[in-house]
Amino acid sequence: MTPVVELREVGREYQGVVALRDVSLTVERGELVGIVGPSGSGKSTMLNLIGTLDHPSRGEVRIDGHAVRELSDRALSALRANTIGFVFQQFHLAAGVSTVDNVADGLLYTGTGLGQRRQRAAEALETVGLGHRAGHRPHELSGGERQRVAIARAVVGRPALLLADEPTGNLDSQSGDGVLRLLRSLNETGTTVLVITHDREVAATLPRRVAVRDGRVVGDG
Amino acid sequence: MLRVGGAGLRARPTRVVLSALGIAIGIAAMISVVGISTSSREDLDRRLAALGTNLLTVGPGQTLFGEQTHLPSESVGMIGRMDPVTSSTATGVVVDANVYRNDHIPKTQSGGIAVLATRTDLLETVGGTVAKGTFLNDATAAYPAVVLGHKAAERLGVAAPNELVHVGGEWFTVVGVLHPAPLAPELDTAALVGWPVARQRLGFDGYPTTVYARSRDDAVHQVQAALAATANPEHPDEVEVSRPSDALAAKQATDETLNALLLGLGAVALLVGGVGVANTMVVSVLERRAEIGLRRSLGATRGQIRSQFLVESLLLSALGGAAGTLLGILVTTGYATYQDWPSLVPAWATTGGIAATMAIGALAGPYPAIRASRLPPTEALATP
Ligand SMILES: Nc1ncnc2c1ncn2[C@@H]1O[C@H](COP(=O)(O)OP(=O)(O)OP(=O)(O)O)[C@@H](O)[C@H]1O
Ligand SMILES: [Mg+2]
């Protein structure tokens, strides 16, 4: 079976700043991987390349068997819509829009009809334990709840790959634990999860850790 | 697509209203200018249709040397005998007579009211009507009886018939007051007395100063051309012929330059409104980078981001256009009702207005929309 994520000697430079150099990484289906490392080490850069939001300066990125470099904007967008789910540190929820509609936006670009989107969004909200807050708007929720809404949005389309960039970065440890538990249970139902974390304790509990430093992978296992 | 575009607008209602306002004002200004002038023209057309455009007037002109002439006495009869003339009548200015409310008022304060010797068939030809009392008849035309024009009655303070006024040094009884006569406004400020009494008591010379003639509708121009020679065969060049309905229409035409100016101002407002929409969209793109990044991460293609902002800008200007059209129609209706005109906004104005706003939306949209679609997703998401 093809790996979900394959990086081959990938490098990324920003106007002379080398953010990532010569990174090779393979993630198989169903894995739960923590990406750790100091600030500025290139973790987000790596995750963005995996999420096809960015392109490498050199090397090859293959996601779900597709070589990213060869895909058109349309095909890349389809890949992001159907195969990849994103969770961000800042949640990025639409203010003034109910949680169920925020979650339904996760299916906006998959060609699903509005009724179907809402229904699946309600189900996804149940999965993250927020079924009773469907009509509430983001500002009425706690940080942990907002992040769970964001996770529901990321997984409502049942993506094979879930990418989370410091999902607990803006949360207290208790809410952070809740979010981590949620990611774990999603992983148990088959989703491949890559999560960036600063928290050593959290990282220690993950089955596989990729350590990054100065743009290189310095530890894996 | 519409839903996503609409949601973007709904999230910022104040700004949407303000930037749509510019367009709304421009469209409203243009539509009400067109609407009001169309309504007033429609009103004129209807009034003219009611009054008839077949009334012609004949008066004395000047000689080559600038001396005032007079129409021959026979001219009324000559004109009346013209084949296409269906009716004719005449008035004559009683030069030396003035009208006063009573005999205490100094002679100099005549109030601008002319005394006209009048034939009893005046109203049928001119299309005038009596507001109060009666018009002169063969009996009263020989007595000191007077009929006052609408404004003359007002100026003299005569409210009802049977009051007395001082005409040319004699007491005359008011027997009637006329309604305004749009085709013969000179009657509004006149005191009308019978032809015989004017000759006998007011020193009237008996020369007609205005001959009124109604012609068959199909022969108006023909009659108009022949009138001068008929009225005064010896000196046709000393006769002035005019068509009062033309004067009414001409008064209307003078408003056209003002309309053009207002229309231009409306266009400027529309342009400024368009710039406002473009500005709003540019600001919106800058502000919503995170949203754009998120949408890209959710699988929106560049084209979909572009369309979203295009639709937003089209919606924004359509909103302004619809509001402006409505406002323009309201203003037109309000003004027309106030003026007692039929209210009329031509369809070309409303469709043109809507088309103009859509064009503005289409012009204002692409630049910000393309900027939004070109934004790299990671950069967009990195903005706090
Ligand atoms: N758009 C960019 N332009 C220039 N330099 C960039 C850009 N994005 C990232 N970098 C640089 O690349 C390096 C890696 O950045 P990255 O965001 O991947 O770090 P990180 O490991 O995610 O850090 P943190 O834990 O603070 O989020 C940093 O030195 C950063 O300054
Ligand atoms: Mg980072």
Q: pLDDT tens, B43-77? A: 888 888 888 888 889 888 877 777 778 888 888 88
Lowest mean pLDDT among A39-53, A61-75, B100-114, B231-245: B100-114
Using CB atoms within 10 Å of the CB of residue B336, give its burial: 0 to 12 exposed, 13 to 18 middle, 19+ buried: buried
Which two tokens mark A171? 């949360």
Helix (H, G, I), strand (E, B) or coil at B359: helix
Q: Considering only A165-174, B160-169, B181-190, B255-264, which range has the smallest mean pLDDT?
A: B255-264
Chain B nearest-CA distance from A141, in A, is 19
Answer yes or no: are the C-beta atoms of B44 and B251 closer than 8 Å: no
Whole-angstrom distance, CA of residue B35 vs CA of residue B146: 43
Tell me the residues of B at the A interface, defined by beta carbons under 8 Å apart.
Answer: 3-4, 7, 11, 290-291, 293-304, 376-378, 381, 384
Phi, psi (degrees; rounded to nearest 5) at A168 = -105, 5
**Cα–Cα distances in angstroms (integers) from residue B335 to residues B35, B214, B328, B331, B339, in the given order:** 10, 34, 11, 6, 6
Q: What predicted TM-score, i.e. pTM, was given to this entire model?
A: 0.74
Give the per-residue pLDDT at A67. Answer: 96
> Measured between alpha carbons, how far is B360 from B315 in angstroms, rounded to an integer?
11
- The residue in chain A having the minimum alpha-carbon distance to the alpha carbon of residue B291 is A92
Q: Strand, helix or coil at A212?
A: strand
Residue B206 has pLDDT above 80, yes or no: yes
N- to C-terminal Cα distance for chain B? 26
What average pLDDT score do residues A56-63 get?
96
Q: What is the pLDDT of residues A63-103, one digit of tens each?
A: 999 999 999 999 999 999 999 999 999 999 998 899 999 99
So what's the pLDDT on residue A153?
A: 97
Strands of A66-67's sheet, edge to edge? A17-27, A5-14, A58-63, A66-67
- Stretch B80-102: mean pLDDT, rounded? 88
Under the banding of pLDDT at 50, 70 and 90, the label for residue B260 is: confident
Whether B116 contacts B146, CB under 8 Å: no
Asked whether A63 and A2 are in contact (CB, 8 A), the reply is no
In this structure, what are the phi and psi dihedrals at residue B181, rounded to the nearest 5 degrees? -115, 95
Beta partners for residue A32, in sequence order: A193
Report whether A24 contacts A11 (CB < 8 A).
Answer: no
CA of A51 to the centre of ligand 2 (A): 14
Tell me the domain boundaries of chain A: 29-53+73-220
Buried b (16+ CB within 10 A) or exposed e, B117-138: bbbbebbebbbbeeebbebbee
Q: Tell me the pLDDT of chain A averaged across its residues.
A: 94
Residue B91 near residue B195, CB atoms below 8 Å: no
Distance from CA of A106 to the nearest CA of B (A): 6
Contact flag B384-A90 (C-beta cutoff 8 Å): yes
CATH class of A29-53+73-220: alpha beta
Average pLDDT across chain B, whole number = 87
Tell me the per-residue pLDDT of B265-303, one tens digit each, with 9 for 90 and over. Answer: 888 888 888 888 888 888 888 888 999 999 999 999 999
Tokens at residue B144, please?
Answer: 């000191």
Name residues 67-126 of chain A within 8 A of B (Cβ): 73-74, 77-82, 84, 86, 88, 90, 92, 94-97, 105-106, 108-110, 114
Q: Is the pLDDT of residue B256 over 80?
A: no
Sort out which chain B residues have CB atoms less than 8 A from A73's CB and list them.
301-303
What's the token pair of residue B60? 């004395």
Residues of A in contact with B3 (CB under 8 A): 114
CB-CB contact of B342 with B49 (8 Å): no
Beta carbons of B297 and A51 less than 8 Å apart: yes
Residue A165: alpha-carbon gap to chain centroid: 6
What pLDDT, in 10s, does the model give residues A131-172? 999 999 999 999 999 999 999 999 999 999 999 999 998 889
Rounded Cα–Cα distance for residues A189 and A178 (Å) = 17
What integer pLDDT is reported at residue B277 of this predicted model?
84
**Residue whose CB lies within 8 A of the most ligand 1 atoms, among A10, A12, A13, A14, for a mutation test:** A14
* Ligand 1, residues at Cβ distance < 6 Å: A 14, 17, 19, 37, 39-45
Q: How does DSSP assign B14-45, residue by residue?
A: HHHHHHHHHHHHHHHHHHHHHHHHHHHHHHHH
Q: How far is Cα A206 from Cα A213, in angstroms, rounded to an integer?
A: 19
Q: Which residues of A62-90 are buried (b: 16+ CB within 10 A; e: fewer)?
A: bbbebebeeeeeeebbbbbbbbbbbbbbb
In this complex, which of B301, B381, B384 lies closest to A73 when CB atoms are compared? B301
Strands (E), chain A: 5-14, 17-27, 32-36, 58-63, 66-67, 84-87, 161-165, 192-196, 208-213, 216-220
Q: Among candidates B307, B306, B309, B305, which has minimal Cα distance to B297?
A: B305
The interface pTM score, or ipTM, of the predicted complex is 0.95
Which of A17, A90, A168, A218 to mutate for ligand 1's pocket (most ligand atoms within 8 Å of CB)? A17
Q: What are the beta bridge partners of residue B164?
A: B173
Residues on chain A touching B290 (C-beta within 8 angstroms) = 90, 92
Tell me the torsion sign for CA atoms B190, B192, B195, B200. negative
Phi-psi domain of B18 (left: phi exceeds 0; alpha: psi -120 through 50; beta: other): alpha
Cβ pairs bridging A and B (under 8 Å): 68
pLDDT at B254 exceeding the cut of 70: no
| B30-63 exposure pattern, b = at least 16 Cβ within 10 A, e = fewer | bbbbbbbbbbbbbbbeeebeebebbbbbbbbbee
